[in-house]
């Protein structure tokens, strides 16, 4: 009886240890992935540079610029490349290699995967500990990926502007334009606006919104400048003024606060947003000068709305 019990126990022990080696492979693999609603090149911006990581990492970042912590896990950056970053994670048992990759799903979304690999020990008890450690690491990676998704799904974080799609409200625009050999200053712009305002008053028209501005650089020393005022009706024009009709369709809108550099950055970002979302613009983007630049000299207080017609 005792001999039989011994052999049964031996078989169970052999089966147990054999099961460890069968269930836990020689290389333990684990990964998590998310699909984010942003173009692949934007995902790359936030994943392939230290600057990008600093904007979204949900945990602590050490001053060496290469070590990131989230809860009880520490990730040490070993390589940054265009295909994605590589890290090592120092665990209780071993150092675990992890890699991030990203691939476009379509023009507007990207799959981001964070994978971990660990060479298993021949020691069965250590092998079990390693497996448990990778499972725990996977949960940590999943949380980080979800925080990254939350960040990249927010257009305001990606484009640095809050974009909305609205309907064009004003179809009649009184405009004037000129060509300069330099970028216009605000005094020149408001002189052009004054001409338009005078004609609106003379024709008993009503201004329906703030002045509009578009500056287009067509050459090294050639800047096309157009200003406009939305009005309630078509009026007679004179000199270099004319009436433009806008289609009452869809238009992208973003509001920013700051000087010329901030505005130009917003214009560029809005155009990138348009291209990323495969939108076609039938007309050039323009600024709506919410703040009067002549009465407010502090550029940090200037409020500007950027508009880009689309269809």
Residue 302, pLDDT score: 98
Cα 174 to Cα 151: distance, rounded to the nearest angstrom: 42
Residue 11 in any domain: the answer is no
Q: What is the mean pLDDT of the chain?
A: 90
Are residues 127 and 219 located together in one domain of the fold? no
Per-residue pLDDT tens digits for 114-128: 999 888 877 888 878
Identify whether residues 179 and 274 lie together within a single domain. Answer: yes
**Residues recorded for the chain:** 311
HSE-up of residue 42 (Cα within 13 Å, Cβ side): 29
43-48-51 Cα angle (round to 5): 95
Sequence-separated contacts (24+) of 214-223 with Cβ below 8 Å? 214/284, 214/285, 214/286, 214/287, 215/183, 215/184, 216/284, 217/183, 221/181, 221/182, 222/179, 222/180, 222/181, 223/179, 223/180, 223/181, 223/182, 223/183, 223/184
Does residue 214 form part of some domain?
Answer: yes
Which among 140, 159, 178 is the end of a domain? 159
185 and 139 together in one domain: no
Task: Examine the domain organization and report whether 189 and 87 are in the same domain.
Answer: no
Tens digits of per-residue pLDDT, 63-85? 888 999 999 899 999 998 888 99
Q: CB neighbours of 52 closer than 8 A, spacing ≥ 6?
A: 45, 46
Beta strands in 43-108 (DSSP E): 60-61, 67-70, 73-79, 86-90, 95-106
In a domain, residue 256? The reply is: yes
pTM: 0.81
| Same domain membership, residue 33 and residue 105 | yes
**Domain span holding position 119:** 26-159
Question: Packing angle between helix 40-47 and helix 124-152, nearest 10 degrees?
Answer: 120
Same domain as 302, residue 167:
yes
Q: In this structure, are 262 and 153 located in the same domain?
A: no
Q: Are residues 220 and 139 in the same domain?
A: no
Could you tell me if residue 16 is inside a domain? no
pLDDT tens readout for residues 174-202: 999 999 999 999 999 999 999 999 999 99
Task: Identify whether residues 170 and 305 lie together within a single domain.
Answer: yes
pLDDT of 155 > 60? The answer is yes
Task: Give the per-residue pLDDT at 82.
Answer: 87
Whether the per-residue pLDDT at 1 is higher than 70: the answer is no
Q: What pLDDT score was predicted for residue 29?
A: 86
The reply to whether 171 and 305 lie within a common domain is yes
How many domains is the chain partitioned into structurally?
2
Q: Is the distance from CB of 174 to CB of 200 less than 8 angstroms?
A: yes
Domain boundary among 159, 183, 211: 159
Query: What pLDDT digit, counting tens, does each position of 14-63 carry?
Result: 555 555 556 667 788 888 999 999 999 999 999 999 889 999 999 999 98
* Whether the predicted pLDDT of 3 surpasses 80: no
C-alpha triplet 305, 211, 187: angle, nearest 5°: 105
**Cβ atoms of residues 16 and 128 within 8 Å:** no
Asked whether residue 174 falls in the same domain as residue 298, the answer is yes
Residue 3 inside a domain? The answer is no
Distance, in Å, from the CA atom of 23 to the CA atom of 196, rounded to the nearest integer, reads 79
């Amino acid at each position: 009886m005792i001999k039989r019990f011994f052999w049964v126990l031996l078989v169970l022990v052999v089966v147990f240890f054999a099961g460890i080696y069968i269930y836990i492979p020689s290389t333990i693999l684990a990964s998590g992935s998310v699909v984010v609603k942003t173009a692949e090149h934007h995902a790359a911006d936030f994943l392939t540079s230290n600057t990008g990581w600093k904007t979204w990492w949900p945990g602590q970042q050490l001053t060496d610029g290469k070590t990131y912590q989230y809860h009880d896990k520490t990730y040490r950056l070993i390589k940054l490349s265009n295909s994605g970053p590589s890290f090592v994670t120092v665990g209780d048992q071993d150092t675990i290699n992890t890699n991030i990759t990203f691939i476009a799903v379509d023009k507007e979304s990207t799959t981001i995967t964070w994978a971990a690999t660990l060479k298993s020990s021949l020691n069965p008890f250590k092998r079990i500990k390693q497996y448990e450690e990778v499972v725990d690491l996977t949960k940590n990676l999943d949380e980080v990926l979800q925080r990254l998704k939350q960040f990249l799904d927010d257009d305001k974080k990606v484009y640095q502007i809050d974009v909305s799609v609205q309907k064009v409200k004003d179809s009649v625009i009184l405009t004037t334009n000129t060509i300069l050999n330099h970028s216009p200053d605000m005094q020149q712009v408001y002189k052009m606006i004054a001409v338009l305002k005078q004609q609106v008053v003379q024709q008993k028209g009503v201004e329906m919104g703030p002045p509009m501005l578009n500056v287009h650089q067509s050459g090294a020393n050639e800047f096309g400048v157009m200003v406009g005022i939305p009005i309630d009706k078509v009026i007679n024009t004179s000199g270099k003024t004319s009436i433009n009709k806008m289609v009452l369709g869809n238009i992208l809108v973003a509001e920013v606060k700051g000087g010329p550099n901030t505005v130009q950055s917003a214009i560029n970002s809005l155009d990138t947003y348009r291209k990323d979302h495969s939108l076609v613009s039938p007309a050039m983007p323009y600024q709506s000068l919410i703040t009067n630049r002549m009465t407010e000299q502090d550029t940090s207080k200037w409020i500007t709305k950027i508009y880009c017609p689309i269809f």
